[in-house]
Amino acid sequence: MAASEAPPAQATVEVELPPPPAKDSEDVTLDAILKHLGQFGRFQLIIFMLICLPMMFHAMFSVTYVFTAATVSHRCNIAECDTPESAFYEPHTEWSIPRHGRDLDACNRYTNLELPQWNQSVAEDICLPIHFTNISEACPDNKFVFRDNEVTISNDFGIFCDDEWKLSMVGTINNLGQFFGIPIGGFVADRYGRSFSIALGGILGAVLGVIRSFSPSYGWFLVFEFLDNMTSSTLYSTCFVIGIELVGPKRRVLACSVITVFYAVGEVLLAMAAKAFPDWRILLRITYMPSLILLAYFWILPESVRWLLTHVNKRELPEGMLDKLVLANRDKLEQSAESRFPIREAFKNFKWRIANCSLCWIVHVLVYYGLSLNVVLLDGDKYNNFAYVALVEIPGFFMPLLIMDRIGRRYSLCGLMLASGLCCVGTIFAGADQPLLQLVLFLVGKLTITASFQVLYFFASEIYPTNLRNSLLSFCSMMGRFGSMLAPQTPLLAKYYASAPAMLFAGAAIVSGLLTLFFPETTNVVLPTTVQEADAIGVKKKPSQGKELDLVGATSQSAVISGVILV
């Protein structure tokens, strides 16, 4: 009797084995189909070039406020000395204007003892050193002399001195718009399609950006700054997702790294456009109007996955492969539904891990954007400085690929954050007397925080269980938005103490960098599926699991590579 029951038992075990044979598994995976069709053929190349264009537009849209809401260099108009033809630097500025280091005070002048009795109609010269005291006073009637021909909302709407917090507020409103826009854009992309989301976001951003260039007041400017970034904030994330879905696994890491390079290219193009067109209204029109070309993406950017699978690179699929793919993914969805884990329980089990990850994300965003915003305050050409900071991001996108597997995730993250913090400390000691050294330290600091951000994306995707990974990663990213809202306010600190922003960045990066050592190491560790597996990260595995670890580790790298600007 036992012998007669043996064959059915064996048959049942064969069917229900958890890991199916390698060949069968390969036959029903989308990656296997992409391998069959071609991992990066002519079709993928064309689409790849198309998605790089909105990536550049998003870079320009998200940081235009660096130039449109910039503080213009100005000084008090000395009525008894200046004429309509007066330049920024005049002989009388040596005794009529206080100095901050080598710079003229923007908002104060020295009092003139003769000014109360001065009759302008009488040809009497009271613009002599003996007439001025060393007591400063605010510029009367907010009349100023400007150094350059630059026009921003500062001198267009009369925002000077005590009101300059309004200029920093523009950057905060910009990031607030992205804070609300990213989840809305994600919903639109999932509900109505990737190409629809890109085309709609690009068109709405373009229209609102052009409308913003006609703003009659500061209030209207803020309204359209918010709406513009809320509607266009989805461009980066959607392009990145298409890049991941577009190519096969063998080419995915390189392709997605190259996509992020175009974000840096967009920042460089913005800096060059701002240099060529120093009027903020013209700059917005020059920047936003070309993105109207994204209207064509409603028709030229493919959407249907089935169409892609059956037409890519002019190859046909074997009969039945698509059916196998659908059945395999249906099983996976059922398994996922059965293993849901309440988000409230996640915070109970991983509260310290989530808190540390959220703090790390806030610090990364604060330092990443803060260095870009404050580099324009350094000596030298602010447009070139901004372009240099953008270009140095490019090697930062690829650096983690060289170091993460060699020294591990934790030490890579910690080391890069400490390096960025120490560079910020170095800028304090370099001072304005060594502008070249200060700029180099800024660039190295930006390079290392960019690379560190890349590592953080890898790391954060590997320390949470599968059914909570996306939710908790999104939560940490959302928390990072507080850093991006704070970053535009840091230039205000420089008005009270020139090195204050660098001290903030250095302290935050060093403290958070050291705290990353409390994370578990995830190099070559299987991506955790359950809460128990996530808790057990860091425990040594048996040698027999080595091959599985390598396979899953490689998959995790492909899935999250190059997501730094997503926040």
pLDDT at residue number 213: 95
pLDDT at 514 over 90: yes
Closest by alpha carbon to 156, among 214, 227, 207, 84? 214
**Would you place residue 11 in the very low, low, confident or very high pLDDT band (cuts 50, 70, 90)?**
very low
Name the more confident of 510 and 237: 510
pLDDT digits (tens, 9 = 90+) for 281-307: 999 999 999 999 999 988 888 764 433
pLDDT at residue number 521: 75
What's the CA gap between 362 and 354, in Å, rounded?
12
- 4-8, 338-342, 362-366, range with the lowest pLDDT: 4-8
CA dihedral sign, ordered 201, 204, 206, 209: negative
| Cβ contacts of 337-343, under 8 Å, gap ≥ 24 | 339/467, 339/529, 339/530, 340/467, 341/465, 341/467, 341/468, 341/531, 343/468, 343/471
pLDDT at 476 over 70: yes
pLDDT at 518 over 70: yes
CB of 383 within 8 A of CB of 275?
A: yes
The DSSP secondary structure of 63-127, one letter per residue, reads: HTHHHHTPPPPEEE--TTT--TT--SS-TTHHHHS-EETTEEPSSEEEEETTGGG--TTS-----
pLDDT at residue number 13: 39
**Would you place residue 17 in the very low, low, confident or very high pLDDT band (cuts 50, 70, 90)?**
very low
- 28-42, 78-92, 465-479, range with the lowest pLDDT: 28-42
What's the CA gap between 481 and 483, in Å, rounded?
5
Tokens of 164: 């300059």
- 115-124, 141-150, 389-398, 489-498, range with the lowest pLDDT: 115-124
What's the CA gap between 503 and 279, in Å, rounded?
33
**Would you place residue 35 in the very low, low, confident or very high pLDDT band (cuts 50, 70, 90)?**
low
Residue 393 CA, chain-centre distance (Å), reads: 11
pLDDT digits (tens, 9 = 90+) for 60-114: 998 899 999 988 988 999 888 888 888 989 898 898 899 877 788 888 999 888 7
pLDDT at 151 over 90: yes
Tokens of 152: 């921003």
Angle at 544 between CA 538 and CA 549, to 5 degrees: 50
pTM of the model: 0.76
pLDDT at residue number 152: 94
CA dihedral sign, ordered 249, 250, 256, 262: negative
pLDDT at residue number 119: 60
Tokens of 157: 């709407």
**Would you place residue 224 in the very low, low, confident or very high pLDDT band (cuts 50, 70, 90)?**
very high
CA dihedral sign, ordered 531, 532, 533, 534: positive
What's the CA gap between 40 and 138, in Å, rounded?
64
